[in-house]
Chain A
Amino acid sequence: MENRTDKNSYTIIFAVVMVAIVGSLLAYAASALSGRIDENKRLEKQQNILYAMGINDNDETSAVFISTDKAPEAFDANIVEQLVLTVEDGEIIKQQTRQEYLDENGDEPYLIDIKKEKSNAKDGKARRMPLFIGEKDGEKIYIAPIYGKGLWDAIWGYVGLDENMVVQGAYFDHKGETPGLGANIKERYFMDDFIGEHLMDESGNFQGVTVAKGNADPTNQRKTDFKVDALAGATITGDGVTAMIKSDLRLYVPFFQNLKK
């Protein structure tokens, strides 16, 4: 006896119905939850930026953000200005304040999609780069977003700098690096290594910070060697961090040079 579920017509109808049901359920879930998800992402950006300027709830060993209900308030209180630099061919061709950017685009500068801007730059178009200016203990901290790729997927971060381009704080995150290996770039011991590192050498050339293997400085005492200790088993992710620091922070150099003039 032929089973009714073996018929071609049944198979096709089943497939169509299943795809329709599953598809609409997923679409419904995605759109019903998108508001909350976007809000979470927005808060996370604020937390990331605050983390890079040293405003966080870190305990002794692990990295902890400031809580989500305090983040918007802290963000407004500590981030005194959000600049948007438009860069073309390594030159800053336009510099906007937050208000100017808001008037033009109706959107907050910290919501600029770094990934999109970076691919714009690849196509030879101008790239908009946000720069957040925070004030902490009377000192100004300039926080720049960076974006690149690790072993499996995107990695990104925020680096807080003083006016001499010395790192004051760093936050890294990743989309899908290997847990226990590349994923450790968002561990406190790795991020904290960057604090105090210089990005510029004495003659004023941009050097960046290299995630270096075997640099014989595991406790990171030397702050002007442009190197931090790499993570075991995460060479490509580490190289990705090096590359995004070099490529993205370099673009801010003219801004810092102007600052000193």
Chain B
Amino acid sequence: MGLLSKKDSKLILDPLADNNPITIQVLGICSALAITAELKASIVMSISVLFVMGVGNVVISLMRNIIPSKIRIIVQLVVVAFLVIIVDLVLKAFAYELSKTLSVFVGLIITNCIIMGRFEAFALGNGIWRSFLDGIGNALGYGVILIIVGFFRELLGSGTLLGFKVLGDPIEKTGLYAIGYENNGFMLLSPMALIVVGILIWVQRSRNKALIED
């Protein structure tokens, strides 16, 4: 094993599959429903969460011995909110266009329960390097699901991927639409995100029976 020890790489790989924050721990569902109607938004959200999780876990890990346990949740919330607002301000000043795309996500990142969950469950009790890896791993696990859901919702709901009309033009009736295919507008609504996540959970558990709870 090269860069990472076996224990360390488990921190990254576990959340991608057998301990996925969305499909196994069922955290962060609200943002998974809210922004997966298109693939681009899913990707932007994944990258934002990757950043906040990585840095946030390190900050909490650094402070883990001085945070009073009675108010630790509030401290975590302050750290997340602080990070997100600073990023938002810097983007507004130096990358205004990008910041407008991201502004919608700011509130969703602060309230993302995966972030709070990892702070609470991992960073408060582990060293900096391991906390960093855990943050990255969980953010990736979250991002993977977001991107899968976003892929199917945009493809089936709008017939596009990242804005490109991959199935032809629904108004001009070209491509698949020429033979009578129609976009399913229901895919764009939040309930379908829940159903897509449900299908993912079902597929994952049917392939790995060990994940099924009694």
Contact = CB atoms under 8 A, between A and B. Distances in A.
Interface string B85-112: 1100110111010001001100100000
Contacts, number: 92
Contact of A5 (B38, B66, B94): B66
Contacts of A90: none
B69 interface: yes
A82 to B, nearest CB: 23
A178 B37 contact: yes
Interface stretch (B17-25, B70-78, B195-203): B70-78
A3 B154 CA distance: 52
A179 B37 contact: yes
Given A3-B69, A180-B38, A233 B94 contact: no
Interface residues of A, number: 35
Interface in B136-158: 153-154, 157-158
A61 B82 contact: no
Contact of B93 (A33, A44, A176, A178): A33
Q: How large is the interface on B (under 10, 10 to 19, 20 to 34, 35 or more residues)?
A: 35 or more
A26 B79 CA distance: 12
Interface string A20-53: 0010011001100100110010001000000000
Contacts of B175: none
Nearest to A15: B71
A11 interface: yes
B154 A180 contact: yes
A22 B37 contact: no
B68 interface: yes
A19 B82 CA distance: 11
A24 B96 CA distance: 24
B113 interface: no
A8 B157 CA distance: 54
Contacts of A218: 171
Interface of B: 34-38, 40-41, 65-71, 74-75, 78, 82, 85-86, 89-90, 92-94, 96, 100, 103-104, 107, 153-154, 157-158, 163, 171, 183, 185, 188-189
Q: Which 7 A-B pairs have the closest CB atoms?
A: A180-B37, A180-B38, A179-B41, A233-B188, A11-B68, A36-B93, A33-B93
